[in-house]
Amino acid sequence: MASAACLSTMLFMSSCSNEDAVAPSPAATVTNDGSNLKTNLIGSGYGISPNIFSTNVTAGFHVYPTNWVWHPVDSGPATISLEEQKKRAPMGVSTLDYVWGNPSLPWIKKLGPTSSPGNILTITTQKGFEKGYTAASATTKIRHLIPGKKYSITFQVATTIRNTPQGITQYAPGVSFNLSNVQNGNDGYIENTSIDLTGKPAEWVTKTVIFQADKEEVNAEFTFSFYSDYVENNNKFYHYAHIFVGENAVKEIN
């Protein structure tokens, strides 16, 4: 089944995101030693600050950060099982030097440092390296939101290449970031933005997206963003895209 938020065959869309993060208003906080969350003392009673789980976890093939989920995107005939799609377009946690953190699988062009030290989430898409066309998306949730409030989320994305038995992979054209209401399905889009990675090999691009919460949780999805007819006009490609979400990536701004 295809992801509802798939933008992989659409033109790059204009973004209403901001390049610079907007600082939240000062708040008194109490750290919860059992987690990376903080208790916010502003507002009516005690609340939990907005949260998205970081991508900085132990590296591994088919290893996902807490609360992150692999989904197939535009993965060809319905006869292809989800497990087969997952093999053809895997997702996992990599390091800046190695695919899935495996020293036998180095990047040809190593990634530079992220905004803070940590591992990265890697998604893949391919056509012609394996049978058919397959693509992965990484989906998670931003939680503990207050409906009507505005928030910012800051993340970094990049692409790089490596050698495979089928040949050298190519740099991904771009990454798409989509926010949607959990309960509204296809009609619940809050924000769709594409980050152009053309001409930015192994270079981290920082993006800050501002959104207004309608629910206490929203879905956040990262996938590939292609120019129109990209898949149809290319017979063979394999792309890696990388996502870094650090601690306290989500901030309340009003």
Three-state secondary structure call for residue 231:
helix
CB 181 within 8 A of CB 219: yes
Q: Which residues pair with 240 in a beta bridge?
A: 124, 171
* Cβ-Cβ contacts under 8 Å for 216 (sequence gap 6 or more): 143, 144, 145, 146, 147
29-252 domain in CATH 2.60.120.260? yes
At 47, list the tokens.
Answer: 């609340």
State how far the Cα of 83 lies from the Cα of 186, in Å rounded to an integer: 24
Domain boundaries, the chain: 29-252
- Residue type at 191? E
Radius of gyration, CA atoms only, the chain: 18
Q: 103: burial class by Cβ within 10 Å (0-12, 13-18, 19+)?
A: exposed
- The dihedrals phi and psi of 238, each to the nearest 5 degrees, come to -145, 125
List C-alpha distances in Å: 150 to 36, 80, 145, 231: 21, 41, 9, 36
DSSP character at residue 98: B
Per-residue pLDDT at 47: 61
Q: Give the β-pairing of 237-244 and 170-171.
A: parallel
Q: What share of the chain is helix, strand, coil (3-state, %, to 5)?
A: 5, 40, 55
Backbone φ and ψ of 196, nearest 5°: -80, 120
Closest CA to 219 of 253, 178, 165, 249: 178
Partner residues linked to 5 by β-bridges:
none
Looking at residue 187, what is its pLDDT?
54
pLDDT less than 50: residues of the chain: 1-46, 184-185
Return the sign of the alpha-carbon dihedral for residues 195, 112, 208, 216.
positive
Instruction: Look at residue 19 in the predicted model and tell me its pLDDT.
Output: 39
